[in-house]
Amino acid sequence: MGELSPWHWLLVGLVFVLLFGAGRLPTAARSLGRSLRIFKSEVSALHGDDAPAVAPEKAETTHQQESARPETRP
């Protein structure tokens, strides 16, 4: 009962063409694709914000190792 048959999809496509016109559909699809790309990059950036919480421990270790080395300046 909850499935859409091919006839239903054809009817939905026809309604979209009648409402928006054939010229505006490619533009709408292009802008939808851009919006999804922006959304995807923002979500991955949000997931990337969690990673630096673990990174400072490694940064401290690296900083300690660098400060233990003697500086050689010409």
2-36 confidence digits (pLDDT tens): 788 989 999 998 998 888 888 888 888 899 999 99
Global confidence as pTM: 0.45
Alpha-carbon Rg of the chain, whole angstroms? 27
Asked if the structure places residue 41 within a domain, the reply is yes
Asked if the structure places residue 56 within a domain, the reply is yes
> What pLDDT is stored for residue 48 in this prediction?
80
Better-scored residue on pLDDT, 60 or 20: 20
Q: Which domain holds residue 58?
A: 37-64
What is the C-alpha to C-alpha distance for residues 39 and 42, in angstroms, rounded to an integer? 5
Asked if the structure places residue 26 within a domain, the reply is no
Asked if the structure places residue 21 within a domain, the reply is no
The total of structural domains in the chain comes to: 1
Short-list 4, 6, 33, 28, CA closest to 16: 28
Asked if the structure places residue 55 within a domain, the reply is yes
> What pLDDT is stored for residue 23 in this prediction?
85
